[in-house]
A and B are shown apart, each in its own frame.
Chain A
Amino acid sequence: MQRKKMRAGDQPLVRWTLIILAVVTTLLMLVIPLILIFETAFSAGAGTYWENLANRYTVHAIGLTLLVAALTVPINLVFGVFLAWLVTRFEFPGRKALITLIDIPFAVSPVVAGLLYLLLYGSNGWVGSWLMNHDVQLMFSWPGIVMVTVFVTCPFVARELIPLMQQQGREEEEAGVVLGATGWQLFRRITLPNIQWALLYGVVLTNARAVGEFGAVSVVSGNIRGETNTLSLHVELLYQDYNVVGAFAAASLLAGIALITIIVKSFVEWRQARQRAPLNELSDNR
């Protein structure tokens, strides 16, 4: 009797093997390392932990990381919204190519991105040498770090918004403009409320990546302690100094940010699902 109720492939052996495999992998690959970070960070006691964090260079690295995130997120927020609006609301030649181009930062290794920026904006680069003559240094200082971080994180917001805005179409905005709304009113009162959760989701992802970016930043920062060291670079430096506990203390901050990101992300996903659910249920009722 029991057997008849089973669906195809629903054999207890297969099911339990898969479940155990998934749980074990998750534990080994994700949960245990995460716990280990905090364990090692606190291995010399809470006092040492706080001391490590209060270290002058660590504090500076935290400050620089926050500055980079604080600049990157708004820049990419505006850029992402603008781009998504552009490609979903207007028809122009090269529109499809633009949608593809947005993905370049995902496709290119961040180290390569860093090198490209070095090539362009470094003191020997095409743009960089000209800027050098005007006393502007971008590479090996914080503006360079912000630039590559912006590059690496620029697809997140746009990628979240484009499919949603395509699906929602432009009819509501057209209805708004016929009723006399200006461009800004349309955006504020019609577009934004419809995309707010996807936008927040994109921002959370952008922020997580901006804080944690290593490859591209390490190429353009020059790793000057107390000057151009972001938190992720600082972790590496400490580790190379054999200050394992200090390295893990700094790493625990990044891990903490990651945890917060995941929590916010789940909340936003839950809100988005809730926002969509009644629409799906009722959109076809006549």
Chain B
Amino acid sequence: MSISIEGITKHFGSFQALKNISLEVPDGQLVGLLGPSGSGKTTLLRIIAGLETADEGRILFEGEDVTRLHVRERRVGFVFQHYALFRHMTVAENVAFGLDVLPARQRPPAAEIRQRVETLLEMVQLGHLAQRYPSQLSGGQKQRIALARALSMKPKILLLDEPFGALDAKVRKDLRRWLRTLHEEFHFTSVFVTHDQEEALELSDQVAVMSAGRIEQIDSPQQLYAQPSSRFVFDFMGNVNVFAGEADGEILRQGEAWVHLPEAPAAAQQQLYMRSHEVRLQSTPASHAHLPLRIESVSLVGAEVRLELAPQGWHAEDLWEVGITHAQFNSWQPSRGDQCFAVPQVAHAIAVNAHTPVTLRWRAGEMDDPAAMI
């Protein structure tokens, strides 16, 4: 069932939580709403469910206007951030609740309800906990029960509010994979809220990045990562190295550091955004960039070696972070205090008062002598 969100606006008192939001969720897709807290993502999710009413705008399910339809009639599955399990009911009673409260004419016989509950609990692999109370479960188990309960009414739409927010990394990972499987199996349309970019990128078919009540960018995870469309998205996606300077022709300069841009920028004040994989480190400066850095820390954990670097003779608000392979690390053997030079391969230039970045690429010919490469 597709979801169309058309021009949704919402105020809480004088605070505008959502500003004219429009979003299309095609049938069967898993869409992540990504943003910092206060960006309005949960409010939007609650409006889709019908738990809040929008001041303006429409919500359509499969082309049918449900804006005025009561939550009860919308027939969506909703997984709450803190699970919201009924604390005085057993796990089985929790999962059966939706079926139990059906009007007598539509309610399946007790035996069938029991059967359905059993199947749902088997599906979340928690059949052995049917007679437990929520307070006796771990966070991950509660989350799975909450999911089973949300799926008990066979919803065509499943909405999840920070579904894995309160769980530890290992459990999160399992649950994420498992939600993906469920999604493929049941083929519901799903919208979930998260503030974790990794989660959004891994789970979603499409990610909508939200900030201050607006959608900044809607794209596939690949596209979003490759082409962040604004300064905000860049910052929010994390781990970005910034070089701010003043352009003099094609040379962008700050203190002792400079970068030779492929073409002269329109405005003089420019910031270059470079993700850690878009920068290479060398022991000598390259012909098109002179960005001296001192190694502040070396972290060997994970698939690559992460270096934290402090600018030398120029200034950056945050330390730079660049990843090198373990092979590079072994041949170079860098340690704290060593000097090196950053060489951008791809950079995203944003003029100081502008919003959208211009992607810059340096042609291979401009890159330099392999001897200097680490």
Contact = CB atoms under 8 A, between A and B. Distances in A.
A, B bound: yes
Interface of A: 171-172, 174-182, 185, 189-190, 193-194, 278-279, 281-283, 285-286
A282 B86 CA distance: 15
B72 A180 contact: yes
A179 B168 CA distance: 28
Contacts of B76: 178
Contacts of B372: none
B182 to A, nearest CB: 18
A182 B78 CA distance: 17
A247 B88 CA distance: 48
Tell me the dominant secondary structure on chain A's binding face. helix
Contact of B98 (A172, A179, A283, A286): A179
Interface in B72-87: 72, 75-78, 80, 82, 84-87
B214 interface: no
A182 B71 CA distance: 10
B358 to A, nearest CB: 44
A177 B88 contact: no
A167 to B, nearest CB: 12
6 contacts: A174-B71, A175-B149, A176-B101, A180-B72, A189-B101, A286-B168
A162 to B, nearest CB: 19
A200 to B, nearest CB: 15
A179 B80 contact: no
Interface in B159-214: 166-168, 171
A175 B71 CA distance: 10
Given A185-B101, A283-B135, A178 B49 contact: yes
Contacts of A176: 86, 97, 101
B102 A193 contact: no
Given A185-B101, A286-B139, A193 B80 contact: no
Interface in B318-355: none
A179 B82 contact: no
B57 interface: no
Nearest to A194: B88
B265 interface: no
Nearest to B98: A179
A186 to B, nearest CB: 9
B28 interface: no
Nearest to A177: B71
B66 interface: no
Given A279-B135, A286-B139, A180 B51 contact: no
B153 interface: yes
Given A171-B80, A175-B78, 14 more contacts: A174-B80, A179-B149, A179-B152, A179-B153, A180-B75, A180-B101, A182-B101, A189-B97, A193-B88, A278-B136, A279-B135, A282-B136, A286-B138, A286-B171
Interface string B137-159: 01110000000011011000000
